[in-house]
Amino acid sequence: MTTLYGYYRSSAVYRVRIALNLKGLAYDQAPVNLVKGEQRSEANLARNPQGLVPVLESDEGTPLSQSMAICEYLDERYPEPPLLPADAEGRARVRALAQLVACEIHPLNNLRVLKYLVRELEVDEDAKLAWYRHWIIEGFDALETLLKRELGTGDFCHGDTPTLADICLVPQVFNAERFECNLSAFPTLRRIVDNCNALEPFQKAAPSEQPDAG
C-alpha cells in the first residue's frame, strides 16, 4: 500500500485522491498541515524540496511530486480505467484542459502566492479576494467556451468517462465555491462537475471526507 502525503483542502492533493480512487487503489494518508507550515518541515523538504504537497510514494518507494505527473504515473502503472483517451489528439485535448486549470488558474491562487500578496505587497483582504476570483473567472470563461463548443465534450470534459481534465476541474470548482465565486455563467462546467460528484471515487476524495479535515 502506498502513502499519500497531503492536506485535505489542497486542491493538488484532491486531484491525486480522485485518481487513486478512480483506479481503485488503496492508500494511506499522511497529513502535512499547510496552515501550520508543516510543508516546510525537514521531513517534507526531504520528500519534496519545493515544500509542496502532494507527494506519493511510487511502487519502488520513490517520492513522486507534482499532481499531474503523479496522475499520469498512476495511469501508466494501472491502465484501467484509463484517465486519458486512446488517440493522440484526444489526449492532447484532455491534457490541455487539465493544464488550463493546473497551469493558468491554480498556481496563482496557491497559499504561498496569497501569502506573498499580503506580506510583501501589503494587499488587503478585498484585493486578495478579487485576485483569487479574477484568475478563476478568467480561466473558467475560456474553459466554458471550449467545453461548450468542442465535440469531444460529453457527460464529462472528454467523452462519457472521467479523465485527467475532470480530475483537475472538480477541485478547482471546489475552491471557487469556497471563495464564493459566482459560477452562474458556467453551466457546462456545472453540469460536468455534478456528473463527477455523483460518482463514489469523487465523493470519497472530497476534502470533508478526509481524516485530517478540520
Q: Which three cell numbers stand for residue 180?
A: 464564493
3-state secondary structure of 154: coil
Indicate the DSSP class of residue 159. B
**Is residue 146 close enough to count as binding its own copies by CB under 8 A?**
yes
Choose among 211, 156, 205: nearest CA to 15. Answer: 205
Residues 90-119 that bind its own copies (CB under 8 A): 91-93, 95-96, 98-100, 102-104, 106-108, 113, 116-117
Helices (H), 150-186: 164-178
**Is residue 22 close enough to count as binding its own copies by CB under 8 A?**
no
Identify whether the C-beta of residue 201 lies closer than 8 Å to the C-beta of residue 161. no
Read off the amino acid at residue 95.
Answer: R
In the complex, what is the shortest distance from the CB of residue 211 to its own copies, in angstroms, rounded to a whole number?
Answer: 25
> Exactly one of 35, 43, 69, 185 binds its own copies (CB under 8 A); which one?
69
Residue (108 or 203) nearer to its own copies, CB? 108
Cα distances (angstroms) measured from residue 37 to each of 17, 53, 84: 21, 12, 34
Residue (72 or 212) nearer to its own copies, CB? 72
Which residues here bind its own copies, judged by CB under 8 A?
48-52, 58, 60, 62, 64-66, 68-70, 72-73, 76-77, 88-89, 91-93, 95-96, 98-100, 102-104, 106-108, 113, 116-117, 120-121, 123, 127, 130-131, 134, 139, 141-142, 145-146
